[in-house]
Amino acid sequence: MNTLLGIVIVVQVVTALIIIGLVLLQHGKGADMGAAFGSGASGSLFGASGSSNFLSRSTGIAAGVFFAATLALSFLGSRPIAAGGAGVMDQIPATPANSTAPAKPQNATGQSQSVAPASGQSNEIPK
């Protein structure tokens, strides 16, 4: 299951990068006005019609793949974890619910030790 999730994530990222590239390659609506006055569009790589049909169709296909990968990720992410797999919160050791006091420091023998105040200081509250 993790392999399938990894493949879908890779498809998602690659498709996102392809969409970014295709959108950046497309020219805006203002560029069509320059082509109307003979800016040499007939000698371009994609012919006289320009690259708008090819790039817009490629962007639509990439968007469809991106959408399908997004749906697949949401489906795979919403599935419950298998009984063998443990989440991050399952690895935390359980503590008793009634212990609210912090643990006392222990020495090397495992006995709890009291912390004495520094010299010249007392534990009493001044009045």
DSSP per-residue string spanning 84-127: S---TGGGSPP--TT--SPPPPB-TTS-B-PPPPPTT--SSPP-
Q: How confident is the model at residue 44 (pLDDT cuts 50, 70, 90)?
A: low
pLDDT in the model for residue 94: 78
Q: Could you give the angle at which helices 52-78 and 2-25 cross, rounded to 10 degrees?
A: 150
- Domain carrying residue 23: 1-27+51-81
As beta bridge partners, residue 112 has: 106
Q: How confident is the model at residue 15 (pLDDT cuts 50, 70, 90)?
A: very high
Determine what percent of the chain is predicted with pLDDT higher than 90.
Answer: 30
pLDDT in the model for residue 60: 94
Within a domain: 122: no
Within a domain: 109: no
Query: Running DSSP on this structure, what letter comes out for residue 82?
Result: P
Q: Amino acid identity, residue 117?
A: P
CA 68, distance to chain mean position in Å, is: 17
Cα–Cα distance between 105 and 114 in angstroms, integer? 8
- Count structural domains, the chain: 1
Within a domain: 32: no
112: left (phi over 0), alpha (psi -120 to 50) or beta: beta
Within a domain: 20: yes
Q: How confident is the model at residue 28 (pLDDT cuts 50, 70, 90)?
A: confident
Within a domain: 13: yes
Name the pTM for this structure: 0.51
